Amino acid sequence: DQQVKQNSPSLSVQEGRISILNCDYTNSMFDYFLWYKKYPAEGPTFLISISSIKDKNEDGRFTVFLNKSAKHLSLHIVPSQPGDSAVYFCAASRNFGNEKLTFGTGTRLTIIP
Amino acid sequence: EPEVTQTPSHQVTQMGQEVILRCVPISNHLYFYWYRQILGQKVEFLVSFYNNEISEKSEIFDDQFSVERPDGSNFTLKIRSTKLEDSAMYFCASRAVTGLIVLTFGAGSRLTVL
């Protein structure tokens, strides 16, 4: 049951450049999407969210883009910093977040100094 | 910053034993959740809890699992008779009723079943 997919298990980006993490989903009932970051031995930490009524949401260095017709979202981090090195999870929910989160498998981002 | 606290951080148990994982959610949060992540796999939803009852559960959450809010601060996950495949990292999460719908996760409890 792979309703949320992150096809890149890992990504390396030079410090200061843009990191782009991608996520695809198959369930058209999903209407709320979140990105979480996870360091080893810690729980997932919320980064940014977007509901299906928008196609872009920005918070500081983080921007999430949603393409509903393609069932695709992406997280842009610019500029990338060494502290951004972590595993990034995309998650989706129905009913504007009032139902369970379905997570992707994660992308390990490594920022190269 | 408020945080979700989980204990123990690591528990090793024998197959067939009962295990209780404990969580202290953020104090003004009213929605509580358990998720788990088996090594190398994705984070999976187990159960959500609101107003002293289960609001949603996954097919993983069978009769061997139960949740309880025994007092005003703790939220527990009990596994009645552990199996080898229950070995995983278990994450508790909570969220507020109003405002941005965001789950705050604890650091997790690693369960190893031998």
Closest partner residue to B56 (CB to CB) among A49, A96, A100 is A100
Locate B60 and state its tokens: 């993983």
Q: Averaged over B69-76, what is the pLDDT?
A: 89
Identify the residue whose tokens are 């939803």.
Answer: B45
Note whether B106 contacts A: Cβ–Cβ < 8 A: yes
CA angle, A22 as apex, A16 and A25 as ends, to 5°? Answer: 160
Does residue B99 surpass a pLDDT of 80?
Answer: no
Query: Distance between CA B102 and CA B10 in Å, rounded?
Result: 26
Contact residues, chain A, for B106 at CB < 8 Å: 43
Sign (positive or negative) of CA dihedral A87, B92, B56, B78: positive
Measured between CB atoms, does B49 come within 8 Å of chain A?
no
pLDDT band for A1, please (50, 70, 90 cuts). low
Residue with tokens 């989706």: A92
**Mean pLDDT across chain A:** 95
Mean pLDDT (whole number) for A60-88: 97
Contact call for A100 and B58, based on CB within 8 A: yes
What confidence tens digit (pLDDT) does each residue in B59-72 have?
A: 999 999 999 998 87
Model pLDDT for residues A11-60, shown as the tens digit of each residue: 999 999 999 999 999 999 999 999 999 998 889 999 999 999 999 999 99
Task: Summarize chain A as % helix, strand, coil (round to 5).
Answer: 5, 55, 40
How many CB atoms within 10 Å of residue A58? 12
Q: Shortest Cα distance from B17 to chain A (angstroms)?
A: 25
CB contact under 8 A, A105 and B104: no
In sequence order, what E strands does chain B have?
5-7, 10-13, 19-24, 31-37, 43-50, 53-57, 65-68, 75-79, 88-95, 104-105, 109-113
Contact A48, A57 (CB under 8 A): yes
Which residue of chain B has the CA closest to A107? Answer: B42
Chain B residue with CA closest to A101: the answer is B45
Please check whether residue A45 touches B, CB under 8 A.
yes
* Percent of the residues in chain A that have a pLDDT greater than 90, as a whole number: 91
- By C-alpha distance, the chain A residue nearest B58 is A100
Indicate the residue of A101, A102, A104 with minimum beta-carbon distance to B103: A101
Return the structure tokens found at A111.
Answer: 């920022």
Q: How confident is the model at residue B1 (pLDDT cuts 50, 70, 90)?
A: confident
Q: How confident is the model at residue B32 (pLDDT cuts 50, 70, 90)?
A: very high
Confidence of residue A96 (pLDDT cuts 50, 70, 90): confident
Give the mean model confidence (pLDDT) for residues B45-73: 93
- pLDDT score for A20: 98
A32 φ/ψ angles, rounded to the nearest 5 degrees = -150, 130
Contact B43 A103 (CB under 8 A): yes
DSSP lists the bridge partners of residue B23 as: B6, B75
Instruction: Establish if A33 touches chain B: CB-CB under 8 angstroms.
Output: no
Element spanning A59, H or E: strand A56-59
Chain A residue nearest residue B50, CA to CA: A98
